[in-house]
């Protein structure tokens, strides 16, 4: 036992608030990093927009599109977009890919309200859009909130029309109405999960009839506006992906400006960290790979989700370009599944087990396992992997904490970790603790955002 330390200092694990552990220079770096993060949030409110924003940032940082079959050298910076909804990026390292790659993986889809294939209707001279919610959202939180409409309409001629309605100053916004309290006596008796049925999440889009029309004149007026602006007709909405998302920009929260409030921070807060860290990585020992994927919120399914073979194909191609074998590469790789965790909320203390909850300002949260009940659906990283990551983060002065998502048997959740681990890749969850996760407005601490970025850099640059 070291002479100059007390027994308590030597033996006890005593984490401290990050703000007392970092100096003013690091506080400034943290603040600067978060300005870039807030811009990323405002640019990317759907997975497609996040891919576009990521590609623009990557190209500005010297990345170029990867071409299957090309030979790659250490220091090469490439990216590969999967169907406009996911992107894989890599910086080729000095070592062979057979010694493994360092993977930072996050998802860029967030809970939202998708429009149904036949969304537009008129009722009582008001025009509405029918929605089908995407991901685990609490329906009561989405009423009486200003909304924007983002997405694409794919035409039969192959053209894809992009829509972004409500993002610019002065543009109109949309809303789903709630019942007034004066008439809410019956509704208020219902459990929270039943008060707003899914089929009442209908977005109000218009109220003025088209002159000279008798039937569905309000709906027709909306269609004329869509036709004039985007050249689309009602049937085109069948082959569209339009999402209603909250209509506010990322903002500082707290009189001390220590936090950020925004829509879609799960998991763009980690996506930006994983991306920014890769863009700042120049000549890593091992090849560094960042993947930003879709569909995590509905089970990582589909061609653009983490279960898709698209990632395996990309990695097989990358290995071929570097003269390596994908199976050997996977077996020696390390992945940080960069996804958010629940931050301890004293306002809802009953849902958390305080000793094992992540806290705001204590750094990036490591989750050995996620899942539900008896660790169901958890990949449960090995003790050895957790130890390796502890060492890696401590060596790089990254503040970190262990996290478990709330009390056992209170619910649970998953990430892409299990799908990476299934590929024979050692994987640990590591991400930003969030207050009010999946709400239309989520809150994180700036310090935790920055520490997650630092964790990703430590991963990519691990020797």
- Is residue 95 part of the contact set for Mn ion (CB under 5 A)? no
For the CB of residue 400, give the shortest distance to Mn ion in the complex, in Å.
Answer: 18
- Find the residue with minimal CB distance to Mn ion: 267
351: Cα separation from own chain's centroid: 23
For the CB of residue 296, give the shortest distance to Mn ion in the complex, in Å.
Answer: 6
226-263 core/surface letters (b: 16 or more CB in 10 A; e: else): beeeeebeeebbeebbbbbbbbbebebbeeeebbbbbb
For the CB of residue 109, give the shortest distance to Mn ion in the complex, in Å.
Answer: 9
Cβ closest to Mn ion, residue 402 vs residue 417: 417
Between 212 and 251, how does the x/- string for binding to Mn ion read (CB under 5 A)? ----------------------------------------
- Of 95, 92, 94, whose CA–CA distance to 79 is shortest? 92
| Cross-strand partners of 126 | 123
For the CB of residue 305, give the shortest distance to Mn ion in the complex, in Å.
Answer: 12
Cβ closest to Mn ion, residue 281 vs residue 300: 300
For the CB of residue 457, give the shortest distance to Mn ion in the complex, in Å.
Answer: 21
For the beta sheet containing 126-134, the strands, ordered from the edge strand earlier in sequence to the opposite edge, are 160-165, 147-154, 240-246, 112-123, 126-134, 203-206
Return the H-helix or E-strand segment holding 400: strand 400-402
DSSP state of 210: P
Cβ closest to Mn ion, residue 267 vs residue 426: 267
Cβ closest to Mn ion, residue 206 vs residue 365: 365
Of the listed pieces 8-16, 259-267, 397-405, 418-426, which binds Mn ion according to CB under 5 A?
259-267
Cβ closest to Mn ion, residue 148 vs residue 267: 267
Q: How many Cβ atoms are within 10 Å of 459's Cβ, its own excluded?
A: 30
CA distance 266 to 433: 10
Cβ closest to Mn ion, residue 266 vs residue 462: 266
Of the listed pieces 26-34, 224-232, 264-272, 369-377, which binds Mn ion according to CB under 5 A?
264-272
For the CB of residue 113, give the shortest distance to Mn ion in the complex, in Å.
Answer: 15
Asked whether 121 and 351 are in contact (CB, 8 A), the reply is no
Total interface residues for Mn ion by CB under 5 A: 3
| Cross-strand partners of 442 | 262
For the CB of residue 75, give the shortest distance to Mn ion in the complex, in Å.
Answer: 32
Cβ closest to Mn ion, residue 267 vs residue 448: 267
For the CB of residue 415, give the shortest distance to Mn ion in the complex, in Å.
Answer: 6
CA distance 265 to 40: 10
Return the H-helix or E-strand segment holding 428: strand 426-431
Of the listed pieces 71-79, 266-274, 400-408, 419-427, which binds Mn ion according to CB under 5 A?
266-274
Asked whether 94 and 284 are in contact (CB, 8 A), the reply is yes
Cβ closest to Mn ion, residue 241 vs residue 339: 339
Cβ closest to Mn ion, residue 266 vs residue 294: 266
Categorise residue 183: left if φ over 0, alpha if ψ from -120 to 50, beta otherwise: alpha
Within 249-298, strands assigned E span: 251-253, 259-262, 287-293
- Is residue 267 part of the contact set for Mn ion (CB under 5 A)? yes
- Of 335, 357, 288, 305, whose CA–CA distance to 134 is shortest? 305
Q: Which of residues 325-344 bind Mn ion (CB under 5 A)?
A: 339
Q: For the chain, what's the residue count? A: 463
Asked whether 458 and 102 are in contact (CB, 8 A), the reply is no
Residue with tokens 């970025």: 453
Cβ closest to Mn ion, residue 53 vs residue 106: 106
Cβ closest to Mn ion, residue 105 vs residue 363: 105
Of the listed pieces 18-26, 120-128, 263-271, 353-361, which binds Mn ion according to CB under 5 A?
263-271
Q: Which of residues 353-412 bind Mn ion (CB under 5 A)?
A: none
- Is residue 442 part of the contact set for Mn ion (CB under 5 A)? no
For the CB of residue 295, give the shortest distance to Mn ion in the complex, in Å.
Answer: 11
For the CB of residue 438, give the shortest distance to Mn ion in the complex, in Å.
Answer: 6
Q: Which of residues 113-142 bind Mn ion (CB under 5 A)?
A: none
- Is residue 266 part of the contact set for Mn ion (CB under 5 A)? yes
Percent helix, strand, coil in the chain (nearest 5)? Answer: 35, 25, 40
- Of 74, 101, 215, 225, whose CA–CA distance to 163 is shortest? 225
Of the listed pieces 80-88, 97-105, 228-236, 265-273, which binds Mn ion according to CB under 5 A?
265-273
For the CB of residue 55, give the shortest distance to Mn ion in the complex, in Å.
Answer: 21
For the CB of residue 369, give the shortest distance to Mn ion in the complex, in Å.
Answer: 15
Instruction: Give contact residues for Mn ion (rule: CB under 5 A).
Output: 266-267, 339
């Amino acid at each position: 036992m070291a002479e100059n330390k007390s027994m308590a200092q030597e033996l006890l694990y005593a984490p401290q608030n990050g703000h007392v552990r970092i100096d003013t220079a690091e506080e400034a770096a943290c603040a600067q990093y978060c300005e870039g993060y807030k811009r990323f949030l405002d640019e990317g409110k759907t997975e497609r927009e996040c891919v576009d924003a990521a590609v623009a940032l990557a190209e500005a940082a010297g990345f170029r599109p990867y071409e299957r079959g090309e030979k790659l050298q250490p220091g090469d910076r490439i990216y590969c977009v999967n169907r406009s909804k996911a992107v894989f990026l890599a910086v080729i390292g000095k070592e062979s890919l057979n010694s493994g790659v360092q993977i930072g993986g996050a998802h860029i889809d967030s809970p939202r309200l998708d429009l149904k294939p036949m969304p537009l209707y008129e009722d009582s001279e008001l025009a509405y859009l029918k929605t089908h919610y995407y991901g685990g959202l609490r329906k009561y939180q989405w009423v009486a909130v200003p909304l924007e409409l983002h997405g694409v309409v794919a035409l039969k001629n192959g053209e894809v029309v992009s829509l972004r309605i409500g993002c610019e100053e002065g543009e109109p916004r949309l809303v789903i109405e709630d019942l007034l309290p004066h008439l809410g006596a019956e509704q208020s008796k219902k459990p929270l999960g039943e008060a707003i049925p899914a089929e009442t999440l209908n977005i109000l889009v218009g109220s003025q009839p088209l002159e000279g029309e008798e039937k569905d004149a309000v709906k027709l007026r909306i269609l004329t506006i869509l036709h004039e602006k985007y050249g689309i007709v009602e049937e085109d909405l069948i082959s569209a992906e339009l999402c209603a998302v909250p209509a506010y920009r990322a903002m500082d929260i707290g009189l001390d400006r220590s936090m950020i409030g925004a829509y879609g921070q799960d998991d763009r807060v980690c996506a930006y960290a994983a991306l920014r860290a890769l863009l700042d990585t120049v000549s890593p020992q091992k090849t560094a790979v960042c993947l930003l994927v879709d569909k995590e919120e509905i089970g990582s399914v589909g061609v653009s989700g983490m279960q898709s073979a698209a990632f395996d194909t990309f990695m097989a191609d990358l290995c071929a370009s570097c003269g390596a074998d994908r199976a050997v590469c996977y077996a020696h790789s390390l992945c940080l599944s960069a996804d958010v965790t629940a931050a301890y909320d004293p306002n809802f203390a009953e849902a958390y087990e305080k000793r094992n909850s992540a806290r705001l300002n204590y750094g990036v949260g490591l989750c050995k396992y996620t899942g539900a009940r008896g660790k169901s659906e958890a990949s449960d990283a090995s003790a050895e992997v957790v130890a390796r990551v502890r060492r890696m983060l401590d060596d790089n002065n990254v503040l970190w904490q262990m996290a478990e998502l709330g009390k056992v048997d209170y619910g649970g959740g998953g990430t892409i970790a299990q799908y990476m681990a299934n590929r024979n890749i050692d994987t640990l969850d590591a991400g930003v603790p969030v207050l009010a996760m999946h709400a239309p407005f989520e809150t994180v601490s700036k310090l935790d955002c920055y520490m997650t970025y630092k964790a990703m850099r430590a991963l990519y640059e691990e020797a």
